[in-house]
Amino acid sequence: MDLFKGIRKVEPRVDFTWKRHKVILSNIANADTPNYRAKDLQFKDEVDRIPLKTTSRKHIKPSGGEGFKVVEVKRNLVGNDRNNVSVEEEMAKLTQNRIAYEVYMKMISGNINKLNNIIRGGRR
């Protein structure tokens, strides 16, 4: 029985929201930088669905990796400086991402509290 199964399921999503937070903050910081292109982080769920197999022992074994990819946001130009960062959109994404992070952390905290309760034998 895996006691940490619930935590392991949420862990990649916590990593994703943490790294996406950094990307969004970078966009906001570069809102006035000429020719800067807004970026976002994608979570590659498809990676797990694609069956990869090796037909020769010399092939490189598929690795799980992080499963995240930084991509350029396709958005019309916002200003004359050819910068496509919309501070309003980035702030909205930042808020959405923060809420998701908090939800994932509460899920992990709930799992840890359950484990603590089990360790104490159901006594508080």
Are the C-beta atoms of 42 and 68 separated by less than 8 Å?
A: yes
Task: Say if residue 87's pLDDT is above 50.
Answer: yes
Distance (Å, rounded) from C-alpha 42 to C-alpha 73?
11
pLDDT tens digits, one per residue of 28-71: 999 999 999 999 998 766 444 555 566 766 655 544 456 888 99
pLDDT confidence of residue 19? 94
